């Protein structure tokens, strides 16, 4: 079997990989940087990355124009992304038909974390990266976070560091641990998807100036810090093989309320049930259609009720980006989001209450989301029966029920100060096992299995899967049933 | 755990199901009907279902019109399906930009086979069903083959028999063996997908007049008969759990050239690599755009070169359908298709040569297809280097290489006499393990694993998976490595 595209008949065993990841998730020795050293390094990166972000009127955007025909806000190169209109029709829910602006970015980017064994322990190469939409300048991002425009160098910046580590196929030698297309926010993006990759690299790969090596234990503890691990880092982490879950046999659903085929059947039934059509429109039609609620001023495209989000422009000057200064449009969400997962033990095994979530920008209408995912302000004008299910349970939680509670940011390259409160809440003893049709109890093993495939878990659920893996409670639960 | 939506903590073991399916696939006793009795029954159904199909001009279609604004061919009710235009742009291949008519049917239908234990052996409930596009009147279809328009009774016909067997969730008690959305022909359908279901039912379910109970062994042998098992039956069969493959552990890739994660990474790389945009257009724009090649006469919408397909109208009268007479448009492919899978043993394990196949109507650009899937006539005007890869291997095969070779029909409710030649060909000893970037060797176990998830294998590959499972050669191969 001498051919280079053939890996050979022997594979590194999955259980060895699991053990190596588990060692990194529990490591107390062998770390390249102590936690204190990390925070000192991060503070240094914060000082080095002075990024000045100023809101500007649309006519101050350079290179970005409203197309005279369509009214779409787009870059003169035709690349990057554009803000277009979307017309949505559904057969369910409180709003059956609406128009909205939406970000269209048809390119598939790469979000990748390189891992390497150092001192016998796997470390992840993380990047200190400032984004104009971040509330706090620098956050921790994956090794590579690059759109195709980035890495084909449309904007004439410098090459993307470490991109070569993620080349697969004949041209590359990446040893891939995970590689899957996943969606992003379906209310804000039209059919956006990125390649989520984890690859193992050799000792020749070293950390450059803005990069650091961290164990999985360190990254897990950083996930509990406000606005520190960025969205891209969280989604890639969620796609990493789970170090606490053995090889996923089909009947490994022992201990789960529903078998794997029952879960897949439920997902299929939700996709079949929910009819939704979403059609791109000229943005001008959204602004000009009476009753759409959206209007454009010189500074923003906003909803007349002050709800949902606005499209704004920013001027950015940076000491450390590929390009030193630029302008761009961003989406500014209005109101703080609540993204919460209810968990409960059944037969000693931790289950999560997952919803079949519909967003117009999903490729196939439905993806799995957390128990609650909403901006409560957007529902304030609706009746009690149209409030999001289980939002009351989240609101009325007692302190001892809260297992995870952290403000985290969404992608700062597209969204302006988009912070959400991520919560994991343990449901009470008397919380029912029976669920409404759009909800199902699933184990972490079942979520991990679905994360190997595209477009099953939405980006908010993926952050909460990463958060779940940081909980001691889950470790205990899984240990019983491995 | 008294709640009805909860299945309980104990699941029927996957390996017991595998054994029961295996028994049905090898059964020589316990069959409800002998093979001879089946063919006699089928001949009776052929005689009973007299269906008269006559090509008619578009203005003879009743209930179907070209919309005055868009020129789309659609039903007055707004349901069923419509023929629209599609504009396609890609960054690769011999044709980089084209327009074409395409069938748009946004509803998700159900294709379902009910299985039941009779005389201790699992039997599948199959239906003798005539479709206007069939070359031979009646073919064997799944228990249920229903669009949402069908089962919500838009056309005022009779209720769909056995539909209740396929109700899942709170309202139903289906015991689901498989339930997954899968795509159909992406060159002819825009984002078409159907729900492929296999459910086990109890002794209360009996075969009605047009239905018969067959073991998996019998169905497998019928798959080698020309135009007998229809497309819908074949795709559902392919999604059935494989009776020769044990529970799919992640590192169960022992014996495969590529590990499962390597295969998933390759799929992701192909999806990222191939940029394609496909946008629905008014059909009028396709006909009126100079150089599109498509023109409409009173009888057909055809390509000026006589290639690809035509849209035609038919008038159908039937003694046995829900509605006794109707008219409808159909898509008539021009030229016979070759759909071939090369197989080869590596380390004693049978591998299939799978391609990353791009069709404009796929939800996400790329799905996995057979080694060769083309209508050679459509490539006749292109240079040697633009011929489909491996078509020469298929053409130059020796008789002893051919493991499967049967003419089979595509969906007769939408396509007029769409026959393809399905082939499984054993590659020679010296056929290389190394593959071009758009091809990979995969085992049947790997294909079966992907078939649990939506939109990985295209409909042609699914037929060939069903065909592969009928081969004695595969049995032998898997037995070595189970």
pLDDT (tens digit, 9 = 90+) per residue, B13-46? 677 899 999 999 998 888 999 999 999 999 999 9
Q: What is the mean pLDDT of residues A150-160?
A: 64
Answer whether A181 sits within 8 Å of B434, measured CB to CB: no
Could you read off the pLDDT of A270-316 as tens digits, one per residue? 999 888 999 999 999 999 998 999 999 999 999 999 999 999 999 99
Going by C-alpha positions, the residue among A219, A8, A199, A34 that lies closest to residue A111 is A199
Give the long-range contacts of residues B284-288, CB within 8 A, separation 24 or more.
B284/B70, B284/B71, B284/B72, B284/B85, B285/B71, B285/B85, B285/B87, B285/B99, B286/B85, B286/B86, B286/B99, B286/B100, B286/B101, B287/B71
Q: Does residue B273 register a pLDDT over 70?
A: yes
Q: For B7, which of A197, A257, A452 is closest by C-beta distance?
A: A257
Which distant-in-sequence residues (6+ apart) come within 8 Å of B424 by Cβ? B340, B341, B343, B402, B403, B404, B405, B464, B467, B468, B471
- Residues A5, B435: C-beta atoms closer than 8 Å: yes
Q: Quote the pLDDT of residue A157.
A: 54
Rg of chain B over all Cα atoms, to the nearest angstrom:
22
Q: Is A40 on the interface with B (CB under 8 A)?
A: no
pLDDT over 90 at A153, yes or no: no
**Helix ranges, B316-443 (H):** 391-395
Break chain B into its structural domains and give their ranges. Answer: 249-276+335-479
Asked whether the beta carbons of residue B262 and residue A363 sit closer than 8 angstroms, the reply is no
Higher pLDDT, B47 or A174: B47
Among chain A residues, CA nearest to B109: A272
Q: How confident is the model at residue B8 (pLDDT cuts 50, 70, 90)?
A: very low
Look up the ipTM and state it: 0.93
Least confident of A349-358, B305-314, B381-390: B381-390
CB B196 within 8 A of CB B105: no
Q: Is B90 on the interface with A (CB under 8 A)?
A: no
**CB-CB contact of B321 with B137 (8 Å):** no
Q: Write down the pLDDT at residue A296.
A: 96
User: Contacts of residue B193 in chain A, CB cutoff 8 Å?
Assistant: 364
- State the pLDDT at residue B243: 85
Q: Which of B161-175, B177-191, B382-396 has the lowest mean pLDDT?
A: B161-175
Instruction: Output the pTM of the full model.
Output: 0.93
Residue, of B76 and B3, whose pLDDT is higher: B76
pLDDT digits (tens, 9 = 90+) for A424-460: 999 999 999 999 999 999 999 999 999 999 999 999 9
Cα distance from A239 to chain B (closest Cα, Å)? 12
Say whether pLDDT at A321 is over 80.
no
- Predicted pLDDT of residue A480: 38
Q: Which of A398-407, A465-474, B12-21 has the least mean pLDDT? A: B12-21
| Mean pLDDT rounded to a whole number for chain B | 90
In CATH terms, the superfamily for domain A249-276+335-479 is: EvaA sugar 2,3-dehydratase subunit (3.90.79.40)
Predicted local confidence at residue B245, as pLDDT = 65
pLDDT for B2 equals 31
Percent of chain A with pLDDT over 70: 90
pLDDT tens digits, residue range B428-451? 999 999 999 999 999 999 999 999
On the question of pLDDT at B482 being above 80, the answer is no
pLDDT confidence band for B190 (50 / 70 / 90): very high
Q: CA-CA distance, B302 to B294, in Å (whole number)?
A: 6
For the cut 50, the answer to whether the pLDDT of residue B4 exceeds it is no
By CA distance, what is A251's nearest residue in B?
B14
pLDDT at B219 over 60: yes
Q: pLDDT tens digit string along B395-439?
A: 999 999 999 999 999 999 999 999 999 999 999 999 999 999 999
Q: Does B261 touch chain A (CB under 8 A)?
A: yes
Residues in chain A closer than 8 A to B106 (CB atoms): 275, 277
The residue in chain A having the minimum alpha-carbon distance to the alpha carbon of residue B147 is A272
User: How far B350 CA lies from chain A's nearest CA (Å)?
Assistant: 13
Check pLDDT > 90 for residue A206: yes
Q: Using 50, 70 and 90 to split pLDDT, how confident is the model at A322?
A: low
Mutate to test the interface with B, among A90, A251, A353 (most CBs of B within 10 A): A251
**Top-confidence residue, A142 or A92:** A142
Q: Let me know the angle formed at the C-alpha of A441 by A436 and A445, rounded to the nearest 5 degrees.
A: 155
A10 → chain B, closest CA residue: B254
Mean per-residue pLDDT, B287-296? 94
pLDDT at residue B147, rounded to an integer: 85
Whether chain B has a CB inside 8 Å of the CB on A62: the answer is no
Average pLDDT, chain A: 90
Rounded Cα–Cα distance for residues A369 and A358 (Å): 9
Distance CA B94, CA A351 (A): 51
Please tell me the predicted confidence (pLDDT) of residue B474. Answer: 63
pLDDT number for residue A7: 38
- What confidence tier does B159 reach under pLDDT thresholds 50, 70, 90? confident
Token pair 């039609």: residue: A285
Task: Name the pLDDT band for B455 (thresholds 50, 70, 90).
Answer: very high
B176 touches chain A (CB under 8 A): yes
Residue B173 touches chain A, beta carbons under 8 Å: no
Contact of A435 with chain B, judged by CB distance below 8 Å, is answered with yes
**Rg for chain A (alpha carbons), in Å?**
22
């Amino acid at each position: 079997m001498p051919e280079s595209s053939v890996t050979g008949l022997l594979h590194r065993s999955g259980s060895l990989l699991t053990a190596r990841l588990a060692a990194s998730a529990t490591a107390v020795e062998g770390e390249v940087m102590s936690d204190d050293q990390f925070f000192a390094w991060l503070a240094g990166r914060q000082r080095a990355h002075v990024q000045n972000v100023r809101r500007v009127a649309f006519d101050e955007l350079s290179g970005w124009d409203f197309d005279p025909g369509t009214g779409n806000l787009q870059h003169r190169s035709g690349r990057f992304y554009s803000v277009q209109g979307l017309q949505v029709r559904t057969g369910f829910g409180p709003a059956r038909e609406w128009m909205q602006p939406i970000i269209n970015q048809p390119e598939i980017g790469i979000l990748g974390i390189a891992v390497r064994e150092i001192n016998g322990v796997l470390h992840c190469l993380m990047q200190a990266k400032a984004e104009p939409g971040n509330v706090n300048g620098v956050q921790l991002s994956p090794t590579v976070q690059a759109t195709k425009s980035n890495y084909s160098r449309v904007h004439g910046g410098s090459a993307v560091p470490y991109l070569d580590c993620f080349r697969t196929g004949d041209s590359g030698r990446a040893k891939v641990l995970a590689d899957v297309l996943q969606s992003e926010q379906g209310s804000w993006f039209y059919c956006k998807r990125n390649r989520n990759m984890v690859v193992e690299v050799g000792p020749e790969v070293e950390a450059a100036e803005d990069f650091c090596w961290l164990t999985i234990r360190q990254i897990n503890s950083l996930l509990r810090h406000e606005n520190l691990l960025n969205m891209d880092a969280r989604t890639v982490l969620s796609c990493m093989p789970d170090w606490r879950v053995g090889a996923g046999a089909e009947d490994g659903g022992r201990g789960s309320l529903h078998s794997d085929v029952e879960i897949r059947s439920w997902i299929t039934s939700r996709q079949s049930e929910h009819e939704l059509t979403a059609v791109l429109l000229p943005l001008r039609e959204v602004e000009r259609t009476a009753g759409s609620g959206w209007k454009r001023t010189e500074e923003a495209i906003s909803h007349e009720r002050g709800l949902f989000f606005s499209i704004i422009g920013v001027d950015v000057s940076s000491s450390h980006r590929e390009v030193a200064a630029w302008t761009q449009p961003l989406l500014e969400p209005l109101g703080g989001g609540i993204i919460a997962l209810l968990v409960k033990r059944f037969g000693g095994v931790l289950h999560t209450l997952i919803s079949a979530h519909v967003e117009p920008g999903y490729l196939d209408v439905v993806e799995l989301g957390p128990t609650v995912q909403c901006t409560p302000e957007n529902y304030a004008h609706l009746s009690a029966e149209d409030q999001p299910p289980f939002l009351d349970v989240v609101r009325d939680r007692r302190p001892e029920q809260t297992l995870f509670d952290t403000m985290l940011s969404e992608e700062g390259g597209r969204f302006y100060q988009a912070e959400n409160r991520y919560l994991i809440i343990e449901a009470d003893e008397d919380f029912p096992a029976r669920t409404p049709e759009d909800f199902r109890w699933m184990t972490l093993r079942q979520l991990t299995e679905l994360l190997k495939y595209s477009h099953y878990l939405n980006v908010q659920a993926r952050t909460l899967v990463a958060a779940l893996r940081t909980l001691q409670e889950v470790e205990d639960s899984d240990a019983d049933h491995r």
